Amino acid sequence: MKPIRLVSGFLTVGVWTLLSRVVGFIRDAMVAAWLGSGPVAEAYIVAQSLPNMFRRFFAEGAFNMAFVPMYAKKLEAGEDAEGFARDAYWGMAALLTVFSVIGHIAMPLLVLAMAQGFYGDTRFDLAVTLGQIAFPFILFISLTALISGMLNAMGHFFATAVVPVLMNIFLVISMYAAPIFGWEIGRTLVWTITLSGVLQLLFVWIVLRWHGVSLAFRRPRLTPDLKRLAIIAAPAVLAGGVVQINLLVGRTVASFTEGAMAWLYNADRLYQLPLGVVGIAVGVVLLPDLSRRLRAGDEAGGRESFNRGAEFALFLTVPAAVALAVISLPLIAVLFERGAYTAADSAATAPALAIYALGLPAFVLHKVLQPLYYAREDTRRPFNYAIVSLVVNAVIAFALMPVIGYLAAALGTTLSSWAMVWQLWRGTRSMGEAVRLDARFRRRVPLVFVSSAVMGLVLWGLMEAFGSAATLPGQRTGILLILILAGAISYFATAFLTGAMGIKELKSVLRRRKP
């Protein structure tokens, strides 16, 4: 995959992820408006978080990181990639069916582990009921992730990028339908999550068949390839578990402050926009590309892919981080402050968003650095690094909770992410020249930081000039648009003037020319 094709892949996944996040914002804004930060909102957040937590644990965060390199290498070598994928698919289906049943039975314990502060009030019983409805989503979305990994390894990014849009569309429709049919909002949302998982799986299954690959039923069996996959995946699964424990730490801290679960959730959703558009896009495209290059012994090509992926990620996420930190309050007010979500909720959410924003480049660099390990089938070191990250997060979150309350959860998440990046980068020293930063990266990335600083100063000056008007209902939307436009113009103008990005290069990327 040539660099221009690689960036084209980033854009394909990124654009559709952006659309998914935009629809997701509409969904989250509707949930916030109707539920506010009250008991039903917090119970819903816990209920939908449980299957998504285990989804990242079993699927794209762990299992797929081991599965995709093996599948991509079999494709490259002309081996029986389809047979391997079929065994993996039905093996995962059997495992997760059993796990879903266990999760349903053990839901009270799962809710207690995630939100100890709920125990003894109405939020606990409601979260258990909603969680039992939503939990089967893990089965369908994990199988969807496996098929998506296959399509990505084959170079088909469009369909897999479209899939996340579907669930958000279904959730928005369900919220409009609920009052018409007299449905309870909380139950409607979690039922929609589970049903959308079924439809997403059906969609990617049909696309895979259209590309000539069949995953017809095969009795689950432990083949030599699956044994090897399990050995490679085990540390990745454990590492994914550590990451999810980090999330548990944050939610546990938040559960002791009424409303904080919703505040942190909405802040998280907002910084997930650039993380999803850039980080997930880079990670999805980079892993199969690096795996194929390593199989072919193309170290120079692997280095080029890594450097361009990192450069592309930082070019977009560093300014996003600065903007989210500087204009956090107007963003929250415009996107969420309506209905049951009050100005006090916005004021509590904004500092959490600013703290998360400081960790945004780290979250994205995870997606760039981890494929360097997984493409080499090295899942043990990321697990070891994740353990250290967990300790950093827990110490910061619990130690500072008496001092800064729920914000300790956001700060722990951000600092532990930077600790993870430092470890991942330090570990690449043993990988040789294939992961060294080239001259173009070393020249351009400092200019990205300079351009972002200029933009930050422009935004700060405008915030001072607008004052409290930036959050007033009648004026805040227009002011936010002015801030976004001024930020974009100042950043890209400085980037072009300093050489952080060339105009001709940007045009060539946007044309998405074929290799």
What the block records as the tokens of 483 is 């801030």
Decide if 512 contacts 8 (C-beta within 8 A). Answer: yes
Q: Residue 166 class from Cβ within 10 Å (0-12 exposed, 13-18 middle, 19+ buried)?
A: middle
Mean pLDDT taken over the chain: 82
Decide if 367 contacts 282 (C-beta within 8 A). Answer: yes
Q: Which residues of 97-116 are buried (b: 16+ CB within 10 A; e: fewer)?
A: eebbeebeeebeebbbebbb
60: DSSP letter? I
Who wins on pLDDT, 278 or 188? 188
Band of pLDDT at residue 515, cut at 50, 70 and 90 = very low
Q: Which amino acid is at 93?
A: A
Q: Which residues of 184-216 are buried (b: 16+ CB within 10 A; e: fewer)?
A: ebbbbbbbbbbbbbeebbebbbebbeeeebebe
Beta strands in 342-468 (DSSP E): none
- What separation in angstroms does the CA of 97 have from each of 57, 86, 102, 138, 139? 15, 17, 9, 9, 6
Q: Which amino acid is at 112?
A: L
- CA-nearest of 393, 129, 103, 40 to 251 is 393
DSSP string, 400-430: HHHHHTTHHHHHHHHHHHHHHHHHHHHHGGG
Report d(CA 236, CA 58) in Å as an integer: 9
Band of pLDDT at residue 510, cut at 50, 70 and 90 = very low
Report d(CA 437, CA 202) in Å as an integer: 42
Report H helices in 257-379: 260-274, 281-296, 299-326, 328-336, 343-358, 360-374
Q: Phi-psi region for residue 339, left (φ > 0), alpha (ψ -120 to 50) or beta?
A: left
Span 206-218, average pLDDT:
87
- Taking 80 as the threshold, does the pLDDT of residue 431 lie above it? no
Longest dimension (CA), the chain: 67
Decide if 406 contacts 254 (C-beta within 8 A). Answer: yes
Radius of gyration of the chain (CA): 22
Decide if 13 contacts 283 (C-beta within 8 A). Answer: no
The range of the structural domain enclosing residue 312 comes to 3-511
Report H helices in 154-298: 158-181, 185-210, 224-255, 260-274, 281-296
Tell me the pLDDT tens digit for each residue of 474-495. Answer: 888 899 999 999 999 999 999 9
Q: How many domains is the chain built from? A: 1
* pLDDT at res. 373: 79
The pTM score is: 0.70
Band of pLDDT at residue 508, cut at 50, 70 and 90 = very low
Tell me the pLDDT tens digit for each residue of 147-185. Answer: 888 887 787 767 777 777 777 888 888 888 988 888 888
Q: CB under 8 Å to 513, separation ≥6 — which residues?
A: 4, 8
Decide if 64 contacts 141 (C-beta within 8 A). Answer: no
